Amino acid sequence: MRRMAWNATLANGASTYANTCPGLKHSGAAGVGENLYIIWGGKLAGLVTLGPTKFYTYGPVGYTFSSNTGHATQMAWATTTTVGCGYQYCTGDKSYFVVCRYWPPGNYVGQKAYAQGTTCSKCPAGTKCVAASGLCA
């Protein structure tokens, strides 16, 4: 599984889309994965504890993508290496609209989010194991 890094280009695109306050409608941006969140009447800091992984218990290791798990699996997709997020306070419905984009995208129907195996046993060429995290970078 790859370690993710912040990507300013993805963040800029996510911010631009968030600024339109479109509600829970995906942007259709090509070549990226995308998660959307709306927080009504709360604080944006709550997003950290309200993320989809808190409410989902994964099945067997290497769990296969389905529409029920899409937001959680996109964040944990083994080959995704970069993420960028943006947000906007939308005055019309008094909510925070948050967009996160991922590259390369994951969530391919019928494919596994990650492969079962020993930590760092399948690091791609040009990467190495970071022992502290158990991720390939």
Least confident of 44-48, 50-54, 87-91: 50-54
* 65-103 confidence digits (pLDDT tens): 555 566 777 888 889 999 999 999 999 988 999 999 999
C-alpha neighbours within 13 Å on the C-beta side of residue 53: 9
DSSP string covering 23-56 = -S-----TT-EEEEEEEESS-GGGHHHHSGGGG-
In the chain the domains, ranked by start, together with CATH numbers, are 5-136 (3.40.33.10)
d(CA 2, CA 14): 22
pTM of the model: 0.81
Average pLDDT over residues 8-27: 95
d(CA 27, CA 17): 7
